[in-house]
Chains A and B, each alone.
Chain A
Amino acid sequence: MNPFTHNSPAAAPKAPSVLCRSLATLIRVLPLVAISLLLALGSAGCSKKSDDVIKVGEFASLTGKEATFGTSSHEGTLLAIEELNATGGVLGKKIELITEDNLSKAGESGTVVTKLIDRDGVVAILGEVASSRSLEAAPICQRSQIPMISPSSTNPKVTETGDYIFRVCFIDPFQGTVMANFASKTLKAKKVAVFTDVKSDYSKGLAKYFKEGFTEAGGEISAELDFNGGDKDFKAQLTAIKTAAPDAVFVPGYYTDVALICIQAKQLGLNVPLFGGDGWESDDLIKIGKEAVEGNYFSTHYHPEVSSPKSKQFVEAYKKRFKNQDGSPKAPDAMAALGYDSAIILAEAMKRAGTTEGAKVRDALAAMKDFEGATGKTNINEKRDATKPAVILQVKGGVFKYVETISP
């Protein structure tokens, strides 16, 4: 019995006459469908404009495979909006944050951002962590002349979309170069292996700029291997890396994968330092990786040890507001801090512009200099990217220890 060509009454063959009848039915149904669709479309442009609140839209990956990053970023943004509203809001009005989930799925962000702009009538858009999904939303915001601030999309292409698209984090070329300098100068590595997540444009971008920077600094890339984000078994590639005998391994990935890579590297006796980018930063890296991540390095946007009172204040407020599943206070990661900054910088721009009008807010954002946020000072440059220093951290004794700051 073949399950897919099963001959039961329900999946029975259709006689041609049936098709004829089907089509006839469709002709009868069609006007109905068309009318209902027209009605839906017609209920169109009448999105209510309420004057007592400022509507800000946020799109984030709250469920799906990248839910952890989206949730962190969303919590940071949420905290910022709550704090702003507690102190009287912006321009005398409260801010209403409308958050939409894109399920971490490609193709979804465009729809939700269109909804936020055209149905909910938001005046600005905040989001997303993943560059690929920010790239879906950017053309829509640009066309609607609605300012969009991405908290942590580091791919250069995002802000290249147009002059309404901003970000509050540094970009991949900078971070890649920083790590290349760190590898050659601080780690004094001559041969480095690169282990890239082929599914992630973030990882590929970082790997590319690292390789360029490191070979320029006179280093040698001794092995290049790839994994797919979400893999659990990395031993095949790590064995090949071990054979190449590098002085260090660059792993530009996200912490969930990185923790497992560190564990399996130790199991295989690959005892050289591993290092990576801001995707590493999360308490979960240590919780999952335990002693296997000890001694490894990564670059990120800020560290409480070196940062301003503003960022300490943020860490305290965040810990108070959000709890882990076991009830303990949740420590913010870089995504949360950047999510927070994206919201307060938007509020500041609205204050400076004195209006929520897209073009004026855009101008205020473009002129933003030395803005003090949770991640330190943010300067928006002519490419609408933030130029800010990167800090290098090391995992030591189960916590992230500050190593050095590298300025652009």
Chain B
Amino acid sequence: MDWLQQLINGLAQGSIYALIALGYTMVYGVLRFINFAHSDVLMLGAFAAFFLAPVVGTILPPQSYLGAFIIVIVSAAICAAIGILIERLAYRPLRNRPKLTVLITAIGVSLLIEFTCQHNAVFGARTRPFPRLIPEHNFHLGNIVIANHDVLVPIVTAALLALLWLVVQRTKIGMAMRAVAFNPQAAALMGVNINRVISFTFGLGSALAAIAGILYAMRAPGIEPLMGIQPGLRAFIAAVLGGIGNLPGAALGGLLLGLLETFAGGIPGISNYRDGIAFAILIFILLFRPAGLLGEVKTEKV
């Protein structure tokens, strides 16, 4: 029953990729650029929880679900604020400049966060032990072991995806987001406050990244300033795989990537190619569906 265990491992891993990919894809949908600093916001989320946990622990009993919930919400709020701040300071002045300029700025922001956090006066480069936020249980099904984290992650992801879907499709700000994504100029003419919509998008995306970061740190409780790079890159692939700008696509891409990576990782002799496999699959799929799995194919008009 090896494959069933791998399926569970893959779903948990893929759900985290999906959650991060949602943030990438949302920002892309509205602003049409890849927010490289997204993976660093994820790291900041994990560190926020790291510093919050002892504080919350003084009020509530340690490892309580309520405490964990509070930590997650506060960390998400902090990261939302950071995300909005980054957009405000680094991206907004470049709003009408070529997208490449913004992309390079994003790379700069990402490097800035990474190197600042690595400095000894900030977090330091050392790996820190991430505190246990919720009690650990393992469920045994015959030979299969399921950690409660691995169940929690897909549930949280599914819930957040549903919530996001509701926000985008059913609320006024969601409609504004779609309007800005469709045509920013026209949206502005219709009275949509573009700056507010973009700030909101960044805040939402960064909050998702923070939650993903905490879930990620719960599964692998060692956090360091560069921890976001790898899942960030995978999530970026997942977002493109699903069709960048497309919410369900990002979720699908993340899950697929997590599953494929896990199954490949479990095969001796292939596990050392694990880093390359994600990309190989991406390239293969893009060759047949250049706009990603769920992306729309746009024909260019002359």
Alpha-carbon distance between A228 and B278 when the two chains are bound, in angstroms: 14
Q: Does B10 contact A (CB under 8 A)?
A: yes
Which one of B81-89, B159-167, B194-202, B258-266 is at the interface? B258-266
Alpha-carbon distance between A11 and B136 when the two chains are bound, in angstroms: 54
Alpha-carbon distance between A260 and B220 when the two chains are bound, in angstroms: 6
Chain B nearest CB from A148 CB (Å) reads: 25
Q: Are the CB atoms of A236 and B227 closer together than 8 Å? A: no
Q: Are the CB atoms of A63 and B222 closer together than 8 Å? A: no
Q: Are the CB atoms of B263 and A267 closer together than 8 Å? A: no
Out of B10, B99, B115, B136, which one reaches A236, CB within 8 Å? Answer: B10
Chain A nearest CB from B267 CB (Å) reads: 7
Q: Are the CB atoms of A10 and B266 closer together than 8 Å? A: no
Of all chain A residues, which has the CB nearest B263? A236
Q: Does B97 contact A (CB under 8 A)?
A: yes
Q: Are the CB atoms of B268 and A263 closer together than 8 Å? A: no
Of all chain A residues, which has the CB nearest B136? A267
- Which B77-130 residues have C-beta < 8 A from chain A? 97-101, 103, 115, 118, 120, 124-130
Q: Are the CB atoms of B100 and A236 closer together than 8 Å? A: no
0/1 per residue, A255-277, Cβ < 8 Å to B? 01001100110011100000000
Contacts of B12 on A, CB cut-off 8 Å? 235
Q: Are the CB atoms of B2 and A224 closer together than 8 Å? A: no
Q: Are the CB atoms of A225 and B271 closer together than 8 Å? A: yes
Contacts of B5 on A, CB cut-off 8 Å? 239, 268
Given A3-B99, A63-B118: A230 and B268 within 8 A (CB)?
no
Q: Does A231 contact B (CB under 8 A)?
A: yes
Q: Does B13 contact A (CB under 8 A)?
A: yes
Q: Does A404 contact B (CB under 8 A)?
A: no
Q: Are the CB atoms of A1 and B32 closer together than 8 Å? A: yes
Q: Does B221 contact A (CB under 8 A)?
A: yes
0/1 per residue, B16-51, Cβ < 8 Å to A? 000000000000000011000000000000000000
- Which A61-75 residues have C-beta < 8 A from chain B? 63-65, 67-68, 71
Given A68-B126, A263-B221: A236 and B9 within 8 A (CB)?
yes
State how many residues of chain A have any CB contact under 8 Å with chain B.
43
Of all chain A residues, which has the CB nearest B145? A269
Contacts of B138 on A, CB cut-off 8 Å? 267, 269
Q: Does B6 contact A (CB under 8 A)?
A: yes
Q: Are the CB atoms of B221 and A288 closer together than 8 Å? A: yes
- Which A239-258 residues have C-beta < 8 A from chain B? 239-240, 243, 256
Contacts of B145 on A, CB cut-off 8 Å? 267-269
Chain B nearest CB from A163 CB (Å) reads: 35
Q: Does A198 contact B (CB under 8 A)?
A: yes
A residues whose Cβ falls under 8 Å from a Cβ of B: 1, 3-4, 6, 8, 10-11, 63-65, 67-68, 71, 198, 223-228, 230-233, 235-237, 239-240, 243, 256, 259-260, 263-264, 267-269, 284, 287-288, 290, 325
Listed from nearest, the 4 A-B pairs whose CB atoms lie closest are A236-B265, A3-B99, A67-B125, A232-B220
